[in-house]
A and B are shown apart, each in its own frame.
Chain A
Amino acid sequence: MPPRTTWVSAVAIGLLLTAVVGLQAAREHLPPRTMPAGVSGNLLYVRSPEVMSRAALSYRLLLADAYWIRALQHFGRARQSHDAGQHYDLLYPLLDLTTSLDPKFNVAYRFGSIFLTEPPPGGPGRPDLAIALLKKGLAAQPRRWEFAQDIGFVYYRQRDYAAAADWFGRAAAIPDAPAWLQPLEAVTRTRGGDRATARRLWSELMKGAGAEDEWLRNESARRLRQLEALDSIDAYSRVVAAYRQRTGSQPRTWADLIGAGYLRSIPLDPDGRVMQLNPYWGLVTLDPQSPLNPLPTDEEPTP
Chain B
Amino acid sequence: MRVIRLVAVNVFKESVRDKVLYNLVAFAVLLIVSTFLLGQLTAGQDIKIIKDLGLAAISLFGLMIAVFIGIGLVWKEVDKRSIYGVLSKPVSRQQFVLGKFFGLLLTLAVNLLVMTVAFYAVLALNAWMASPATLAAMQTPAADPAMLKAILLIGIELTLVTAIALFFSTFSSPFLSAGLTVGLWVIGHFNNDFRNFGDIVDSRAAVWLTRALYYLLPNFAAFDIKSQVIWGEPVAGRDLALTVLYGFVYVALVVTGAVTIFSRRDLK
Point out residues on A near B: beta carbons under 8 Å: 1, 5-6, 9, 12-13, 16-17, 19-21, 23-28, 30-31, 33-36, 39, 41, 43, 73, 76-77, 80
Contact = CB atoms under 8 A, between A and B. Distances in A.
Given A1-B263, A30-B236, A36-B231, A24 B215 contact: yes
Contacts of A13: 253, 256-257, 260
A102 to B, nearest CB: 23
B185 interface: no
Nearest to A26: B242
A51 to B, nearest CB: 16
A73 B235 CA distance: 26
Given A24-B219, A25-B215, A17 B242 contact: no
A24 B193 CA distance: 14
Interface of B: 139, 193, 195-196, 199-200, 214-216, 219, 222, 225, 227-228, 231-236, 238-239, 242-243, 245-246, 249-250, 252-253, 256-257, 259-260, 263-264
A76 B200 contact: yes
Contact of B233 (A9, A28, A36, A43): A36
A77 B238 CA distance: 26
Given A16-B256, A36-B231, 18 more contacts: A5-B263, A9-B263, A16-B249, A17-B253, A23-B242, A24-B219, A25-B215, A26-B242, A27-B219, A27-B239, A27-B246, A30-B236, A30-B242, A33-B225, A39-B231, A41-B227, A77-B196, A80-B196
Nearest to B215: A21
B155 to A, nearest CB: 18
Nearest to A21: B215
Contacts of A23: 242, 245-246, 249
A25 B219 CA distance: 11
B249 A33 contact: no
A1 B264 contact: yes
9 contacts: A16-B256, A19-B253, A24-B215, A24-B219, A31-B236, A33-B239, A34-B233, A35-B228, A36-B231
B200 A35 contact: no
